[in-house]
A and B are shown apart, each in its own frame.
Chain A
């Protein structure tokens, strides 16, 4: 009886809050929490999608670290190279461009922001059409024809099929489309800063624009900087499918553009080793978490 009364008073106090939350919570639980937990659990099993998963302890992780030549030789170095250039590189570029845009009056600023942002609205599959035509391997490809015309190259180059170019093209294409929502957040953050701060700083002896950026701009917009950082980390790892999209095959030619996301797909959907694929997923999620913590340290250090 008492329980019932307590429950009723709880419903009265907090019930409507949970009511408002319920639909989101349901979707969140079903499609984010449960899959993450399932990936974690599956990573300790052998699972070929036909038989019920069998528990094998840490064996997936051990073979990932010791026996998976492709992972150690190609996937991990590729992922790190890609992530380091596209992540911090794209992030710094976003901030710098946002800062430059903030120096312009409203109308040109809006036009430029739209141009820089629009690549991030394109979808990977749709752009594959464009990249394949621009980087086409024979002499009718636009880049080949352009370079042949300038006599920079003598023979057409198989851009998307040759291991030595694929990674660079992946990086350029991803950077091209990386001025997304984080970029807009940083632009808004810079514009929000109280102009009096700059005047005060000028009186205090801040002399040039670089000092202004490091002593005023960045410290005053740390929350936006952090939001931008999270968005660029997630975007970087999410963009992992680009190599397969560009080259059209998984695995990519000589594993040149193989990133961790493709490795998951390779084991999960091509070889049906779901347990092993789940272990790689967990490694990926931990990597994202690690990098986000790191940027947290950088931007929220004092608190």
Chain B
């Protein structure tokens, strides 16, 4: 009995990469990872803790990291607030939700259709276009904020709902991952369907999309994060308060100008930060196994 137990945790089977179970040789990794993970998660624990603190704990001296008497008061405060221009907070949140959902849905479509062409169709510019997209992986949107603004102005998109969505639709990383994943579908499957007389749209919709679900989940996460965290388009392209996003509203809570911070209070700001973080977290937890299987196709050759 003891012997078996001993063999189980010291045998060769559980050594090295991707072990099946615990092994004594893993202890050093645990000893390294546990404190590091604890340190990395501190700021996130802090958001949760602060969001539930009553006022006397928020402003207590000396400050305490963990909440003692949790309360929902900060949540109530946040949602009963109006921004300086009289727009209720729930309006910003509603905008963000709609913007993010539409962005996710549209970008899944747009990217997967393009990936289908680049992976499975034959045409002259195929290699070139894929190379251009791969080059665009290096694109740093923040560098071209100004010309982007000019383009958006020329297209009369300023102060519209779509200005939140259109600029983030072309996501080179998304197309790249989808295309790499789609390359793994054997061509024979599609050829068989073609011989049966299936149209391109039918093949794309009925055969390819169901087979690339993990990659679609990954793109959904990336698009959601890009849209949900995006405060820039509200700051730069939208002046109509009721069209702005929740991520923008947070930045008004924290900006030190005009003493906004003192008025808003830490508790409300922490609740807002919590609302920004939790959807990202839940979606990732929900889809993480799909993400990992997409990532093994992510190699850049």
Contact = CB atoms under 8 A, between A and B. Distances in A.
Interface residues of B, number: 104
A203 to B, nearest CB: 14
Interface in A187-245: 187-193, 195, 198, 221-224, 226-227, 230-231, 233-234, 237-238, 240-241
B22 A105 contact: yes
A80 interface: no
B33 A34 contact: no
A234 B137 contact: yes
A277 B146 contact: yes
A268 B61 contact: no
A108 to B, nearest CB: 8
B36 to A, nearest CB: 8
Q: Does more than half of chain B's interface fall in helix, strand or loop, or is it mixed? A: helix
A130 B47 contact: yes
Interface stretch (A10-18, A59-67, A68-76): A10-18
Interface of A: 13-14, 16-21, 23-25, 27-28, 30-32, 34-36, 38-39, 42, 97, 100-106, 108, 110, 112-119, 121-134, 139-142, 145, 149, 176, 181, 184-185, 187-193, 195, 198, 221-224, 226-227, 230-231, 233-234, 237-238, 240-241, 248-249, 261, 264-265, 268-269, 274, 277-278, 281, 284-285, 288-289, 292, 300
A-B complex: 10 closest residue pairs judged by Cβ atoms: A223-B299, A123-B229, A24-B114, A38-B147, A188-B295, A17-B121, A126-B276, A27-B170, A248-B256, A20-B117
12 contacts: A17-B123, A27-B169, A30-B166, A32-B170, A36-B139, A104-B19, A105-B20, A112-B37, A130-B270, A191-B296, A195-B16, A292-B138
Given A125-B248, A224-B295, 16 more contacts: A14-B122, A14-B123, A23-B109, A24-B175, A25-B129, A113-B288, A123-B276, A125-B247, A129-B47, A129-B273, A191-B17, A238-B140, A269-B146, A281-B146, A289-B138, A292-B138
